[in-house]
């Protein structure tokens, strides 16, 4: 759990540094990481891209209601829109939630009204523009 916690904060940490941080031998840490990969507890090592530095200053989460008979076609068309990053099928007042990025509010408006609004089978949508984000790493704590 300590290894998962440390890697979830910084997947680029070297095995020797990680071993030092959790007070364990490097070879033990290396074999435990290999075991976590084999057990599929670690799916992949990745990076966290700073979207704002790339010019994507607006993030939106859009709730969509749709004709469920056209679900697969709608999802496929949504993924073909530049800026659409994630689609989640959800419970509650919406059928799906779409996370997307745009360079500015005008570009986001073009995506929501000009592209999403024209997809056949979408009954309605409501967009939520992110004003400020705060995140917390998932703590994988060991019971002490």
pLDDT tens, N- to C-terminus, the chain (144 residues): 889 989 988 999 999 999 999 999 999 999 999 999 999 999 999 888 899 999 999 999 999 999 999 999 999 999 999 999 999 999 999 999 999 999 999 999 999 999 999 999 999 999 999 999 888 776 666 555
Q: Give buried/exposed letters for 27-64 (b at 16+ CB in 10 A, else e).
A: eebeebbeeeeeeeebeeeeeeeeeeeeebebbbbbbb
- Cα 51 from Cα 140, distance rounded (Å): 26
- Cα 54 from Cα 132, distance rounded (Å): 17
Q: Which two tokens stand for residue 136?
A: 């917390």
Cα–Cα distances (Å) from 47 to 12, 14, 137, in that order, read: 8, 15, 14
What is the H or E stretch that residue 105 is in?
helix 105-109
The residue among 124, 118, 117, 115 whose CA lies nearest residue 96 is: 124
- Cα 123 from Cα 112, distance rounded (Å): 13
Kindly tell me the burial class for residue 108, based on how many C-beta atoms sit within 10 Å of its own C-beta (0-12, 13-18, 19 or more): buried
């Amino acid at each position: 759990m300590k290894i998962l916690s440390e890697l979830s904060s910084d997947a680029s940490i070297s095995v020797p540094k990680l071993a030092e941080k959790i007070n364990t031998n490097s070879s033990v840490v290396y074999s435990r990481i290999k075991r976590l990969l084999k057990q599929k507890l670690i799916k992949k090592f990745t990076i966290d891209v700073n979207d704002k530095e790339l010019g994507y200053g607006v993030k939106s989460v859009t709730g969509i209601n749709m004709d469920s008979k056209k679900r697969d076609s709608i999802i496929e068309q949504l993924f073909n829109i530049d800026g659409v990053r994630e689609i989640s099928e959800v419970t509650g007042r919406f059928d799906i939630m779409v996370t997307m990025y745009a360079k500015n509010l005008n570009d986001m408006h073009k995506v929501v009204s000009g592209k999403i609004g024209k997809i056949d089978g979408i009954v309605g949508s409501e967009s939520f523009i992110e004003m400020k984000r705060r995140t917390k790493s998932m703590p994988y704590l060991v019971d002490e």
